[in-house]
Amino acid sequence: MGIYSPIKAKITKIIEETSAIKTFVFETEKGFSFSTGQFVELTYPGIGEAPFTPSSSPLRKDEFEITIMKVGKVTAFFHNAKVGDVLGLRGPYGRGYPVENFRNKEVLIVGGGVGLAPLRSLIFTLFSSLDDFKKIVICYGARTPQDIVYKSQIKEWRGYKNVHLRLTVDKGDNKWDGNVGVVTTILENLPLKAKEAVGIVCGPPIMMKFTTLKLLEMGILPQNLYLSMEKNMSCGLGKCGHCRLGKYYVCKDGPVFCFEDIKDIHDIWD
Amino acid sequence: MKDNIFVATKQSFCNFLETLSKTYTVVSPYGEENYFFEVFKGKFVFNKYRPVTSLRQFFVPSQQFLGSYFLEKTVKKKPFCIVGVKACDLQSLKIQDYVFLESEIDEEYKNMRDNNIIISSDCIAFKNVCFCVGLDINPYPEELFDLNISLVDDVLLVEVGSLKGKKLIEENQSIFQNARESYLEERTVSRSKLVEEIRRSLKEQGLPSKEILYELVRKGYEKNIWEEEALKCVECGACIMNCPTCHCFLIFDTKEGSYFLRGRIWDGCQYKNFSRVAGGANPLKLRAQRLRNRYIKKFEFFPDRIGIYACTGCGRCIESCIAKIDLREIFRYLYNYNKKSKV
């Protein structure tokens, strides 16, 4: 079956991020390369496939990670998988983050919910050559404190030189002493010059919409704004037709798009 | 005398198909009016116009086994020889070829394209839904066939269109004789006559000219027509299942003993979960959005990508729609609306 054929990917570790989100660590027989922001199709054998963007650094060659939220039939099977289980893997597909375009710039990364997964891969990539970027500002919003992913790692990010981190939750609890409100509420007075900065957004559709509008209002230019578009990518090869966005297929021409290239397409936030 | 055109009697052509049946699953038209392709059983009918269903099924079957993973399992099938394919369906191969052969090659499709034989034929009549000529597609095959047959004076004029076709003629020399020049002239006359008849019918159909269909869809995004027409849609999917250029499919996985199998089935944008993502978002949640999506895909997306419409004028979407949603009517509306708004 050629292009639709998966290779074996063995689960070596499972990390419980939240009650609905797990990170799976995989190894493959011959190693697996991707560039940050590209996606893969992960198969639960005999059940089905779903698209995910690896959440680990592409510089790690021996293994890679995929963070999965349980939202439907196939992801429920993934959540029941155990260490040692062998899943199927196709890819990588599409175009990831054009990291070259971010060099010598201030980089603003805005994530919502499990949308931090692809961004974490990008963040690790940027961290591997921190001196190449003027500044990295990470803004992350989750529904509640319990829904924050990568909790222990996020705290460490604050310690890096030139890295700024802001967190928010839609709804706090008695232990939460940080900001409460949607992610756009932590985008005020950011320590960067918007007109020259690069903005990167990933999260659920409604968050993507309002964050993008906010970043544009702040002065980030459409050609410096990058969005991870979520569509129903099924074949990953531009053949099955599910993920059309204007004249593009998200699986081939995305999933990362420069806002300049998609801003005139109707209803991109639907 | 042209060296790529031959004649055969209907009886000897029938014998030719009989011979081909040893190597191929020969399918040919069965019946006169609303007919389908069926496995050839010794009776050859020269079909007047295109069959009810499209050519797609012979290159991308509606349900297809793609292979097994982790453990090898192969299934060998006889290739098809499809007889009586019409020009509109041949044109659809340009879309299917682009989808399945461009950049990453779909092996199953390529095998079918390489191994199947296409014996096309001229239309000698047309249905009231046919509008191929309006899209500059002639009702007689000029490309994309292995052999093409035309009916002249009750004999068959056979034109070679590929190396595969040439080989078939060479292997069956007793069946095919060189064609007289007068046969060719007759073919030209009957071809032009039919084109003229379809042109006259097009005037009644009122389809706007080919050149502006792209703009009409592009500018028609916000128009009410999509909602009005979609109100009638019962989401049966007949338009997508019968369309020769529709190509969308769903990959499915299943288990058979120790084998994990992967296959695909036809899917289409008129079904409500077509573009739904796991998180729940669905960019095409309304029928009106889905109807419009079909037109955007065929008249905007494909022209943007490869410079041709993904419509061959076969009229199957009109013919098969029980809600009587009519492509020509939608274009007429968009055209008239556009004209009014310019005044």
Cβ distance of A242 and B248 shorter than 8 Å: yes
- The reply to whether A2 touches chain B by the CB within 8 Å rule is yes
pTM, two decimal places: 0.94
- pLDDT (0 to 100) of residue B288: 96
The pLDDT of residue B1: 55
- Chain B hits for A240, CB-CB cut-off 8 Å, are 248-251, 264, 267
B-chain CB neighbours of A91 within 8 Å are: none
Reply yes or no on whether the pLDDT at A109 is more than 90. Answer: yes
Residue A57 lies in a domain: yes
Q: What is the mean pLDDT of residues B310-338?
A: 95
Tell whether omega for the bond before A92 is within 30 degrees of 0, i.e. cis.
yes
**Backbone torsion region of residue A49, taken as left when φ is above 0, otherwise alpha when ψ lies between -120 and 50, otherwise beta:** beta
The reply to whether A264 falls in a domain is no
Q: Is the distance from CB of B178 to CB of B6 less than 8 angstroms?
A: yes
Q: Could you write out the DSSP letters of every residue in A174-199? A: TT--SEES-GGGG-TT-SS-GGG-EE
Q: Which residue of A2, A47, A242 is in closest CB contact with B275?
A: A242
pLDDT at B343: 47
Residue window 61-80, chain A: list those with CB within 8 Å of chain B.
Answer: 71-72, 74-75
Band of the pLDDT at A1, cuts 50, 70, 90? confident
Residues A58 and A119 occupy one common structural domain: no
Indicate the average pLDDT of chain B: 94
Band of residue B342 on the pLDDT scale cut at 50, 70, 90: low
The ipTM of this complex is 0.92
Is some CB atom of chain B closer than 8 A to the CB atom of A224? no
* Window B:248-267, CB contacts with A under 8 Å: 248-255, 260-262, 264, 267
Q: pLDDT tens digit string along B229-274?
A: 999 999 999 999 999 999 999 999 999 888 999 999 999 999 999 9
Calpha distance A3→B67 (Å, rounded): 11
Within 8 A by CB and 6+ apart from A259, the residues are A212, A216, A222, A223, A225, A226, A227
Reported confidence tier of residue B327, pLDDT bands at 50, 70, 90: very high
* Residue B217 to chain A, least CA–CA distance (Å): 13
Give the chain A residue whose CA is nearest to the CA of B98: A239
CB atoms A240 and B70 under 8 Å: no
Residue among A1, A8, A46 whose CB faces B254 most closely: A46
Shared domain for A55 and A136, answered yes or no, is: no
Is A258 inside a domain boundary? Answer: no
Q: Please tell me which of the candidates B105, B264, B283 has its beta carbon nearest to residue A267.
A: B283
Which residues does A9 contact at the CB level (< 8 Å), separation at least 6? Answer: A26, A27, A28, A32, A42, A86, A87, A88, A89
Are residues A20 and A141 both part of a single domain?
A: no
| Statement to judge: residues A84 and A111 lie in one domain | no
Chain A residues whose CB is inside 8 A of the B249 CB are 235, 239-241
| A258 φ/ψ angles, rounded to the nearest 5 degrees | -80, 130
- Is A29 part of the contact surface with chain B (CB cutoff 8 Å)? no
Do A55 and A127 reside in the same domain of the chain? Answer: no
Note down the domain range covering A72.
2-93
Work out the minimum CA distance from A30 to partner chain B, whole angstroms: 15
Q: Is residue A156 part of a domain?
A: yes
Q: Would you say residue A248 lies in a domain? A: no
The answer to whether A70 and A20 have CB atoms below 8 angstroms apart is yes
Q: Quick check: B34 pLDDT over 90?
A: no
pLDDT grade for B54, boundaries at 50, 70 and 90: very high
At B294-306, the pLDDT tens digits run 999 999 999 999 9
CB contact under 8 A, B277 and A75: no
Torsion of the alpha carbons at B134, B140, B144 and B145, rounded to the nearest 10 = 160
Say which residue, B241 or B338, is predicted with more confidence.
B241
Same domain as A67, residue A27: yes
On whether residue A253 sits in a domain, the answer given is no
Domains of chain B: which residue ranges? Answer: 5-204, 210-342
Mean pLDDT along residues A207-230: 96
Tell me, yes or no, whether A129 lies in a domain: yes
Q: What is the pLDDT of residues B179-209, one digit of tens each?
A: 989 999 999 999 999 999 999 999 998 999 9
Interface touch B253/A48, C-beta < 8 Å: yes
- Please indicate if any CB of chain A lies within 8 Å of the CB of B1: no
Candidates B251, B279, B293; nearest CB to A234: B251
What is the per-residue pLDDT across A54-77, written as a single tens digit (0 to 9) for each?
A: 999 999 989 999 999 999 999 999
Q: Are A150 and A120 in contact (CB under 8 A)?
A: yes
Residue A49, pLDDT > 80, answer yes
User: Which residues of chain B make contact with A267, given a CB cutoff of 8 A?
Assistant: 283, 289
Chain B residue with CA closest to A7: the answer is B70
For position A195, which CATH number holds?
3.40.50.80
Is A251 an 8 Å CB contact of chain B?
Answer: no
A136-185 pLDDT, tens digit each: 999 999 999 999 999 989 989 988 989 999 999 999 999 999 999 999 99
Do A232 and B99 count as a contact with CB atoms less than 8 A apart? no
Domain boundary at A42, A62, A93, which?
A: A93
- Number of structural domains (chain A) is 2
pLDDT tens-digit readout, B68-105: 998 877 777 899 999 999 999 999 999 999 999 998 99
Nearest alpha carbon to residue A241 among B157, B31, B316, B270: B270
* Residue B37: both structure tokens together: 């392709």
Our CA dihedral for B295, B301, B303, B304, rounded to 10 degrees, sits at 150
> Among B209, B42, B221, B29, which Cα is nearest to B125's?
B29
* A37 & A158 share domain: no
Q: How far apart are CA B224 and CA B241, in angstroms?
A: 26
- A1 Cα to chain B: minimum distance (Å): 5
For residue A68, tell me if it sits in a domain. yes
Q: Examine the pLDDT at A104 and tell me if it is beyond 90.
A: yes
Domain boundary among the residues A93, A123, A153 is at: A93
List, in sequence order, every beta strand (DSSP E) within A134-260. 135-142, 163-169, 179-180, 198-202, 225-228, 244-245, 248-249, 256-258
Residue B170 sits at the chain A interface (C-beta within 8 Å): no
